[in-house]
Amino acid sequence: MIAVMTETLIDVPADVCFDLARNIQLHTETVWKHTKEKAIAGTTSGMIGAGEFVTFQATHFLIRQKLTSKISEYQRPFLFTDVMVKGAFKSLRHEHTFEDVQGKTCMKDKLIFEAPFGVIGWMTERVILKKYMKSFLEHRNRQLKLLAERA
C-alpha cells in the first residue's frame, strides 16, 4: 500500500476550493489531456456530493480503464473522501482536505492505493505508480489553482 500526499496553497476561500475540487466537469478539464478522461456514469456533471458515485473512463499506460468511486466522507467545506468501489486497483482512497490559512486555502490530497497482482503489484506501486499518481495530482492541482485564482 502506498500513500501519496500533496499540498497546494490557493488564494481563494476554502468553500470555493472545495466546490471546484468536487466539480466533475472541472475534474475532467484539469487532468492530463492525453488520458481523455470523462465521466460516464453516476454523477457526470456538476458537483458530486455525499454518498454519490461517479465512474470515470480514462486511458493510462495505453489501456482504457474505468474507475467507480463513492463519496464516503463529506464535511463541507473542509473534507471529502472518495473511495474506489470498482476499478483496476486493489484499493484506492482519496482524501481531500481544505484548511483556511490567513484567507487562503491549503488544499491537501492524500491518496492511498494498493495495486493488484501480489509481488508484481507491490513492485509496480513503488517503481512506477507512486511517481505517476503524484504527478497526476500535482498537475491537476496546478490547473485547479490557476482556474480558482483567475475567477
Q: Where are the strands (E) in the chain, listed by range? A: 2-10, 38-42, 53-60, 63-75, 79-86, 91-101, 104-114
Contact in structure between 18 and 11 (CB atoms under 8 Å): no
Topology of the domain covering 2-23+68-150? Alpha-D-Glucose-1,6-Bisphosphate; Chain A, domain 4 (3.30.530)
Residue range 75-107, pLDDT digits in tens: 999 999 999 999 999 999 999 999 999 999 999
Q: pTM (2 decimals)?
A: 0.94
- Per-residue pLDDT at 19: 97
- Asked whether the CA dihedral 26, 39, 36, 120 is positive or negative, the reply is positive
Express each pLDDT in 9-20 by its tens digit.
999 999 999 999
Domain boundaries, the chain: 2-23+68-150
Looking at residue 151, its pLDDT comes to 76
| Lookup: cell for 48 | 458530486
Among residues of the chain, what percentage have pLDDT more than 90?
Answer: 99
Q: What is the mean pLDDT of residues 56-82?
A: 97
